[in-house]
Amino acid sequence: MFFHIVKEKNMRLHPRYFGPRIREKLVMKLREEVEGTCSRRHGFVVTIIGIDDIGEGKICEVTGFAIFPVTYQCVVFMPFIGEVLEAAVTIVNKMGFFAEAGPLQIFVSTHLIPQDMVFQTGDIRNYTSNDKSVKIQKDSEVRLKIIGTRVDPTEIFCIATMNEDFLGVINDDPVTAIQHSEVIHQVTQ
């Protein structure tokens, strides 16, 4: 789920940047250091929206760097266990399929795919239901429920299930699905 939170960070700045553009430099460095990182508490930091306050910089006696406490607003993405979200399928293979929801990498194993969906190899690998009405293939949109998460410094991985009510394929038409996923990508980037 996306959240808009206020965070604080102590930024270290080298004295060479003490000058007329010090504030810009601070903000630039903040963006470089924070955007795209993950933390266990807040999840994936998608983007910084604005700077609330930059406190007084204190010079560290030992190194000569100045330390500025910066308060900023950012959008974060944090998956929760039990959360239902929509994802776009990226890779399909015999052990399950991989999907992406923004910066999140999700794996759904065959154990958690409805039993009637069978893996088909071939030109386009997919899972097809018994009556051939439903297909999971690359670029399909699916609704999943997260059952496990793991946060690395740069990425978040999840295990999800499709075996419950109201979960499953939303749209297996790759054309419209790609258009949707492009919108999602634009928002998160």
Partner 1 sequence: MSLTAESPVHSSSSSDDFVAALELDLAMNNSSSSSSTSSNKSLGRDSSNAGSDKDEDTDGEKEINKEGEQEADEEGQEADEEGHRRIKRCKIENIDVTLKSKSAIVNDLLSKRGCPHPGLYKGLCVNCGKPIEDDGSGVAFGYIREGLTVRPTEIQRLREIDLKNLFHKKKLILVLDLDHTLLNSTRYVDISFEEDLLLRKIDPMHGDPKRSLFRLDSMHLLTKLRPYVHTFLSEASNMYEMYIYTMAERSYALEIAKILDPSEVYFHSKVICQSDCTQRYQKGLDVVLGAENTVVILDDTEAVWQKHKQNLILMERYHYFSSSSRQFNSNFKPLLLAKEDESETDGILYSILTVLKRVHHMFYDTVSEDNLNGSDVRLVLRNVRQEILQGCKLVFSHIFPSESRGEDHRIWRMCEQLGAKCYTEVDLSITHIISNDRGTRKSRWAIENEKFLVNPGWVEGAYFLWRRMQEKDYPVSTPRILNPPKIESAQVE
- Residue 96 and residue 63: Cα distance in Å, rounded? 52
Check if the beta carbon of residue 161 is closer than 8 Å to that of residue 49: no
Query: Two tokens at 83?
Result: 């959360």
Q: Which is nearer to partner 1, 34 or 106 (CB)?
A: 106
Judged by CB under 8 A, the chain residues 105 through 124 that form the site for partner 1 are 107, 109, 111-112, 119, 121, 123
Q: Which is nearer to partner 1, 28 or 95 (CB)?
A: 95
Taking CB under 8 A as the binding criterion, the range among 9-17, 18-26, 150-158, 180-188 that sits at the site for partner 1 is: 150-158
Distance of CA 61 to the CA centre of its chain: 39
Q: Which is nearer to partner 1, 161 or 171 (CB)?
A: 161
Of the candidates 6, 59, 91, 183, which one interacts with partner 1 according to CB under 8 A?
A: 91
> Which x/- pattern, by CB under 8 A, does the window 152-171 give for partner 1?
x----xxx-x-xxx------
Q: List residues binding partner 1 (CB under 8 A).
A: 81, 91, 93-96, 98, 107, 109, 111-112, 119, 121, 123, 125, 146-150, 152, 157-159, 161, 163-165
